[in-house]
Amino acid sequence: MNIHKEGYKIILISTLLFAGVLYGLSSLGAPSWLMALLGLPLLVLYILIVRFFRNPARHSDQTENGIVSPCDGKVVVIEEVEETEYFKDKRIQISIFMSPLNVHVNRNPVSGIFSYFKYHPGKYLVAWHPKSSTENERTTSVIKTDTGVEVLFRQIAGAVARRIRWYIKPGDKAGKGEEMGFIKFGSRVDVYVPIGTEIKVELEQKVSAADTLLAVLK
């Protein structure tokens, strides 16, 4: 299993703590039943932490003019909204909720050039709160495709997720399905596409980063 670089430090600290607790109990002569009682929950927690930072290989859907999912999770919103930061007009918003059990690597939904990027400090409302898209800590990224169409997407922190990472800046080339960032411990990603875009997913549908076709540009 490949481990994402964002997990190296946390996994190392977790390993040292886990080993330290077991060593301390053993040194104090703790009975085996107490070792098991304390050690088993710690082991389960350790495995969950390691799994959270897994980074499986992905092969991006290559549908012409296709927009792929930027993250793993479940589709919780598909609606027409007013996008007020960049486009300042109506767009179709597709929101994907990422639980702590999902892979948390974020990927580019389309290929092109990053034409805009901005980090916004903010609140930590639960990720499914209607105002989380505009009030929570978040980033806004816009990719201009080779055909000149722009697609906007946001990494949004949640009540638990308070660490957003990004590895891009305006002017960078974007490859569809390539890694662009990471959000730690549960969160949400919103994608904004032009009105008239053909939507290929449904509410409550589970999606996978790069693998799942979200929509097709007209």
Supply the DSSP symbol for 48.
H
| Alpha helices by DSSP H, 53-118 | none
- Answer whether 189's CB lies under 8 Å from 106's CB: yes
* Spatial distance between the Cα atoms of 208 and 82, rounded to a whole number of angstroms: 26
Asked about 132 being catalytic, the answer comes back as: no
CB burial of 179-218 (b: ≥16 within 10 Å; e: otherwise) equals: bbbbbbbbbbbbbbbbeebeebbeeebebbbbbbbbbebe
Q: Which of 60, 141, 187, 208 is catalytic?
A: 187
Active site residues: 187
